Structure 1
Amino acid sequence: MRFEELSIWRRSSALCVELHRYLRELKGFGFRDQITRSALSVPSNIAEGFERDSSKERARFWSYAEGSVGELRTQIHIGQQIGYLEPEVAAKWLQESEELSRMLHAMIRGMRHDITKG
């Protein structure tokens, strides 16, 4: 299996692309730079973790991805409050990012279970 076949990688990549396209013309460079880097970090860390040899390393990189999803959700909330994101767009991205967070949490929990088993 390749990381490109993982549903979570495909979904997080799609969210990243959508977010980049939506914010392409945003004048708030600092915000745009930060939120797009957070979004890009999610599929990147999923892929990097998948390519690691040990379960412990995979769990570590997937934990980084989960942290980036939390950062992304925070930025979506703030982006909506300051008027950079339309409420419907923010709601859609929040829903998807919350689902990604749940998926990552389950993957990490499963990986850590494997680590303790041995």
Structure 2
Amino acid sequence: MTKVTHFEDLRCWQLARELVRLVFKACEEGKLTKDFETKAQIKKAAVSVMNNIAEGFGRFSNKEFIRFLDFSQSSCIEVKSMTYILEDMDYLSKDKINVIRDKAEETKNSVLSFIRYLRKKESK
């Protein structure tokens, strides 16, 4: 893997950014616009995915970076969980919910893959 010097170059951060964009756009549609608590919670979870990757990147050790990546993947799971609330409350179309759910899963898998890479690199 090429040495990455900017967090913006990380694939997992790029996916997290896409997830944030999807969530924020969804929060401006349908019945979700009126549920301020749910809207705020899913936005915070999505932003946490992206920001924990960036914050971890700025740490001084892979061990600390991995800790922040773990927070990030946990926030992906939170976003995915919240999509079931959106579905159950009929806040968005099933298609839009699935797009968010799939992006959260893709992002989580990318973060976990990066964690495995860093752990393998650390054990050498």
| Structure 1, gaps ≥5 residues long | none
Residue 63 (structure 1) aligns with? 70
Conserved? CA contact 2:22–2:100, under 8 Å: no
Q: From 1, 20, 39, give the equivalent of 1:16.
A: 20
Does 1:79 pair with 2:83?
A: no
After the TM superposition, list the runs of 4 or more consecutive aligned residues in structure 1 that deviate by more than 3 angstroms: none
Tell me the SS of whatever aligns to 2:122.
helix
Residue 103 (structure 1) aligns with? 110
Does 1:49 pair with 2:53?
A: no
Does 1:7 pair with 2:11?
A: yes
How far off is 1:86 after superposition? 1.2
CA distance in 1, matches of 2:58, 2:111: 16
| Structure 2, gaps ≥5 residues long | none
Number of residue equivalences: 117
How far off is 1:83 after superposition? 0.8
Tell me the SS of whatever aligns to 1:53.
coil
Aligned CA RMSD, in angstroms, stands at 1.3
Q: Tell me the TM-score normalised to structure 2 length.
A: 0.87
Tell me the SS of whatever aligns to 1:4.
helix
Does 1:115 pair with 2:119?
A: no
CA distance in 2, matches of 1:40, 1:14: 11
CA distance in 1, matches of 2:11, 2:51: 14
**1:30-56 Cα deviation digits (max 9, x unpaired):** 100100000000010011111111010
How far off is 1:77 after superposition? 1.7
Deviates more, 1:22-31 or 1:108-117: 108-117
Conserved? CA contact 1:55–1:114, under 8 Å: no
